[in-house]
């Protein structure tokens, strides 16, 4: 991909400016053009992978997701191609929008793109095409959605159809229903769970916030914008901390092949004027993520986004991932809706949270603890409240980071016997420098876990209850790689040098020290903190350059008390 020269004066951290984003969008749009078929209605990208929705749906996905990119770019030449594809698709090429089918997802992208570019695309279509397109989209108003972020797809379609005067009563009903539905999943402080349970991931930003905020902004509805914009602003206080100093987003959750779609909520806050981030920090975080992926193989020799994280990587794919799925990354270009003279494009870049100061930040609703260090720009996420076993290992490990990926050998886990499973995660609290939870193993044992963090160092404590006496317990730490940060794990209580121990007649406590660091010569791990047991359910932790803390493992909560 050919990009303009770096502008280190305006963008001292990334070198990227608006011109780089425009060039990237243009290159991505040009690369997919040769794969259009059926009059431009379908985009069948190369490769032998097919999603579980089938080839026809995958082709529609290719059209819809790249149309959204053209809409954010406001490229009239490209939009003309997509207008021709819309005419062909609604003439019988596209599959119908039906209950819980993938075309419902893609209908939302089509509707949003048409709403964003109405004078450039929709208003130039002939009446017959408009009637067919509205009718095709109209099926989304009554289609049954999966009970998760999918509830917002009829909202997005309804917003456009209401604006053009098509089935206005049904459109408004779909909008009201979807917006009411997500209230069931809003847990406060800017955080949603993606449906029932505790499914915390990037769908918070690129779906649960994106669609309601864009709808409110496009409808010029001050009440909705105050509500959803306020939630977005609060979310960004935490969300901005999920990016490493090298631009990498946190490697956690499903659909990671959407890559720089992770930047969408960052731009969105600036677009709607509801953000705690300065213009320079906004662009630094977003451009950092785009640059991170473009420099690491996200685009192949044909200019196409690959199915993976850096380059191709089947480990981050799901059954719904088709050849064009990575183009959900188009959402990351929402910043191009901001005019060139907006401060988000003209202000000098400013450092992100991971570059400003070491921090250990509690995040209440998901019961996460975020730990970042400026010396290496690493961010670590200690997970004591997110669970979605359908898409493991990206939800139930004890920790994730911006520099590591979950391993098949069960990194960041507790084995009770030979069982590393972690289900029924129950949050037990999060506070300054700590987080805790309880989970159930496959054999029925209960493990109460607490992590205390300071700098790059972690104290990981696990109280195992209900296991047979003499059961082997083993703890694992960060995954290792030939290149990248150094992972360390040392026994502190109840564990051998091999990080194994055995349960006693009652509840048994196991403690290890862990560290993931890019520092070349850090202080030896065992010199950073002193850990002592104080009875069967209490622990004393004394940081060498910090406070002494008492950790109490209660029946329903974990308390961390400064001594």
Structure tokens at 113: 């793109």
Q: What is the pLDDT of residue 482?
A: 78
Same domain, yes or no, for 315 and 373? no
Same domain, yes or no, for 170 and 63? yes
Q: What is the pLDDT of residue 503?
A: 97
With both helix axes pointing from N to C terminus, report the angle between 168-183 and 152-163 in degrees, rounded to the nearest 10.
150
Same domain, yes or no, for 396 and 314? no
Q: Does the residue 243 lie in any domain?
A: yes
Domain of residue 368, CATH code? 2.70.98
Q: How far apart are CA 457 and CA 517, in angstroms?
A: 9
Same domain, yes or no, for 101 and 240? yes
Q: What is the pLDDT of residue 555?
A: 87
3-state SS assignment for residue 524: coil
**22-49 pLDDT per residue, tens:** 999 999 999 999 999 999 999 999 999 9
* DSSP line for 467-494: PPTT-EEEE------SSS-EEEEEEEES
Helix/strand number for the chain, H first, E second: 14, 21
Q: Does the residue 310 lie in any domain?
A: yes
Structure tokens at 500: 């194994």
Domain that holds residue 37: 23-354
CA atoms within 13 A on the CB side of 231: 24
Q: Which residues of the chain have pLDDT under 70?
A: none
Same domain, yes or no, for 335 and 411? no
Domain of residue 200, CATH code? 1.50.10.10
Structure tokens at 557: 């909560």
Same domain, yes or no, for 220 and 300? yes
Q: Does the residue 8 lie in any domain?
A: no
**Percentage of the chain lying above the pLDDT 70 cut:** 100
* DSSP line for 115-171: HHTTTTTGGGS-HHHHHHHHHHHHGGGTPPPPSSGGGHHHHHHHHHHHHTTSSHHHH
Same domain, yes or no, for 202 and 168? yes
Q: Does the residue 10 lie in any domain?
A: no
Which one, of 195, 94, 90, 106, lies nearest residue 153 by Cα?
A: 106
Q: Does the residue 4 lie in any domain?
A: no
Which one, of 168, 538, 102, 84, lies nearest residue 325 by Cα?
A: 102
Q: In what order do the strands lie in the sheet with 423-431?
A: 423-431, 434-440, 446-454, 457-465, 508-517, 486-493
Strands 399-401 and 486-493: unpaired
CA atoms within 13 A on the CB side of 349: 24
Other CB atoms within 10 Å distance of the CB of residue 165: 9
Structure tokens at 439: 């989970």
First-residue to last-residue Cα distance in the chain: 56
CA gyration radius for the chain? 25
CA atoms within 13 A on the CB side of 223: 0
3-state secondary structure 207-257: HHHHHHHHHHHHHCCHHHHHHHHHHHHHHHHHHHHHECCCCCECCCCCCHH
Q: Does the residue 465 lie in any domain?
A: yes
Same domain, yes or no, for 350 and 489? no
How many domains does one find in the chain? 2
- Note whether 286 and 243 are within 8 A (CB): no
Structure tokens at 562: 């400064």
Q: Does the residue 18 lie in any domain?
A: no
Integer CA distances (angstroms), 387 to 178, 317, 390, 396, 397, in order: 24, 18, 9, 5, 9
| Phi, psi for residue 31 in degrees, rounded to 5 | -70, -30
The domain boundary, picked from 354, 380, 409, lies at 354
Same domain, yes or no, for 426 and 523? yes
Q: What is the pLDDT of residue 536?
A: 86
Same domain, yes or no, for 350 and 361? no
Q: In what order do the strands lie in the sheet with 378-383?
A: 359-363, 368-373, 378-383, 399-401
Same domain, yes or no, for 333 and 412? no
With both helix axes pointing from N to C terminus, report the angle between 210-219 and 102-116 in degrees, rounded to the nearest 10.
30
Which one, of 386, 369, 451, lies nearest residue 414 by Cα?
A: 451
The domain boundary, picked from 354, 375, 404, lies at 354
Which one, of 113, 92, 170, 179, lies nearest residue 138 by Cα?
A: 170
Q: Does the residue 9 lie in any domain?
A: no
**84-128 pLDDT per residue, tens:** 999 999 999 999 999 999 999 999 999 999 999 999 999 999 999
pTM of the model: 0.98
The domain boundary, picked from 330, 354, 378, lies at 354
Which one, of 206, 200, 292, 276, lies nearest residue 243 by Cα?
A: 292
- Note whether 440 and 389 are within 8 A (CB): no
Same domain, yes or no, for 105 and 126? yes
Q: Kindly state the DSSP code that residue 442 receives in the 8-state scheme.
A: T
Give me the residues paired with residue 426 across strands: 438
Structure tokens at 430: 């999060």
């Amino acid at each position: 991909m050919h990009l303009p020269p770096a502008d280190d004066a305006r963008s001292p951290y990334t070198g990227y400016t608006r011109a780089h984003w425009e060039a990237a969008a243009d290159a991505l749009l040009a690369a997919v053009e040769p794969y259009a078929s059926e009059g431009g209605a379908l985009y069948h990208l190369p490769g032998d992978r097919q999603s579980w929705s089938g080839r026809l749906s995958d082709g529609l996905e290719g059209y819809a997701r790249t149309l959204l990119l053209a809409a954010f770019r406001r490229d009239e030449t490209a939009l003309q191609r997509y207008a021709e594809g819309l005419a062909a698709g609604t003439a019988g090429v596209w599959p119908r929008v039906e209950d819980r089918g993938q075309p419902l997802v893609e209908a939302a992208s089509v509707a949003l793109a048409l709403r964003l570019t109405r004078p450039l695309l929709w208003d130039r279509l002939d009446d017959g095409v408009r009637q067919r397109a509205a009718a095709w989209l109209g099926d989304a108003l009554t289609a049954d959605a999966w009970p998760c972020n999918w509830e917002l797809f009829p909202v997005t379609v309804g917003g456009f159809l209401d604006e053009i005067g098509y089935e206005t009563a049904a459109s408004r009903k779909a909008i009201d229903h979807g917006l009411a539905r997500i209230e069931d999943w809003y847990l406060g402080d800017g955080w949603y769970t993606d449906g029932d349970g505790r499914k915390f991931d990037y769908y918070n930003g690129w779906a649960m916030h994106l669609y309601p905020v864009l709808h409110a902004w496009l409808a010029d509805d001050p009440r909705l914008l105050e509500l959803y914009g306020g939630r977005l602003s609060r979310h960004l206080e935490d969300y901005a901390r999920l990016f490493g100093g090298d631009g990498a987003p946190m490697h956690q959750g499903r659909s990671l092949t959407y890559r720089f779609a992770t930047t969408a909520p960052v731009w969105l806050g600036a677009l709607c004027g509801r953000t705690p981030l300065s213009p320079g920090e906004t662009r630094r975080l977003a451009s950092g993520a785009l640059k991170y992926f473009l420099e690491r193989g996200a685009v192949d020799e044909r200019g196409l986004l690959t199915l993976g994280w850096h380059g191709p990587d089947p480990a981050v794919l799901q059954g719904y991932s088709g050849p064009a799925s990575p183009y959900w990354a188009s959402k990351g270009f929402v910043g191009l809706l901001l005019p060139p003279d907006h401060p988000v494009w003209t202000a000098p870049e400013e450092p992100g949270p991971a570059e400003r100061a070491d921090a250990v930040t509690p995040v209440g609703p998901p019961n996460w603890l975020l730990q970042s260090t400026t010396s290496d720009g690493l961010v670590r996420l200690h997970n004591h409240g997110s669970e979605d076993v359908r898409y493991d290992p990206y939800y139930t490990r004890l920790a994730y980071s911006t520099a590591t990926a979950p391993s098949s050998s069960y990194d960041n886990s507790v084995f009770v016997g030979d069982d590393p499973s972690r289900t029924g995660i129950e949050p037990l609290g999060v506070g300054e420098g700590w987080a805790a939870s309880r989970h159930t193993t496959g054999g029925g044992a209960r493990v109460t876990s607490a992590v205390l963090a300071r700098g790059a160092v972690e104290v990981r404590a696990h109280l195992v209850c209900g296991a047979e006496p003499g059961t082997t317990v083993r703890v694992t730490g960060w995954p290792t790689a030939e290149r990248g940060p150094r992972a360390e794990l040392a026994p502190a209580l109840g564990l051998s040098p091999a990080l194994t121990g055995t349960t006693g007649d009652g509840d048994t406590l196991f403690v290890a020290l862990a560290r993931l660091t890019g520092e070349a010569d850090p202080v030896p791990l065992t010199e950073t903190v002193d850990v002592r047991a104080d009875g069967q359910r209490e622990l004393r932790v004394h940081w060498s350059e910090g406070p002494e803390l008492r950790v109490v493992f209660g029946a329903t909560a974990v308390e961390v008390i400064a001594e």
